[in-house]
Amino acid sequence: MKPPFQLGKIGHVALYVADVARSKRFYMEVLGFDVSDEMDESLVPGGAVFLRCNPDHHGIALFQAKGPNPPDAGLNHMAFEVPTLDDVFRARAHLRAHNVHIDFEGRRRAGVQIAVEFRDPDNHRLEIYWGIDQIPPGSASRPAHEWKGVKSLEAAVADPVAGQDTRLADPSLLER
């Protein structure tokens, strides 16, 4: 039974972190978020910061982990969509320049998005991706035999899935 409304994309993610200031710096300096608001200890135990990467007030809220709320409580990962495949390559280069370890790069299987995956200072898993399959109402998802999971951005470009245009606007982004 469907609800009487339609959800869109994830609106925001709230995380418990070990050090709000450290995580704020990471999300601002490495991923380019801006601060919308900050709450001090008088408003929320340990403080909090609300960060945005688009006009929405916040895409991420960071709360100080205290007591029963450890920094990695319950989150598998959160993903950030970028508008072009070139942006995924630029993200990889930027992460490397900031000495951020990349856990995965390439094409995931289900959804076939091309992505880089890494962790924030509190070990939360993050993903920057492009090209996730779109499934119109009443349609089925792509069958598993068409997924073509690969473990490098270059391999994803070299062997695209049906319907995914992996031509780069800036071919110099490919590693040689």
Work out the average pLDDT over 44-51. Answer: 89
Residue 138 confidence (pLDDT) = 85
pLDDT tens per residue, range 60-72? 989 888 766 666 6
Work out the average pLDDT over 98-120. Answer: 93
Residue 89 confidence (pLDDT) = 94
Q: Where in the chain is the domain with CATH 3.10.180.10?
A: 13-64, 78-173
**What are the helix and strand counts (H, E) for the chain?**
3, 8
Cα–Cα distance for residue pair 156/85, rounded to 1 Å: 10
pLDDT reading at 117 higher than 90: yes
Contact criterion met (CB below 8 Å) for 56 and 10:
no
pLDDT reading at 114 higher than 90: yes
Is the pTM higher than 0.85?
no
pLDDT tens per residue, range 4-34? 656 577 778 989 898 999 999 999 999 999 9
Fold adopted by 13-64: 2,3-Dihydroxybiphenyl 1,2-Dioxygenase; domain 1 (3.10.180)
Work out the average pLDDT over 94-108. Answer: 94
Residue 5 confidence (pLDDT) = 53
Contact criterion met (CB below 8 Å) for 97 and 118:
no
Cα–Cα distance for residue pair 150/112, rounded to 1 Å: 10
Catalogue the E-assigned strands of the chain. 13-17, 34-39, 48-52, 60-64, 78-81, 102-107, 114-119, 125-130
Considering Cα of 132, then 86, then 61, then 124, what sign does the dihedral take? positive
The CATH code for residues 78-173 is 3.10.180.10
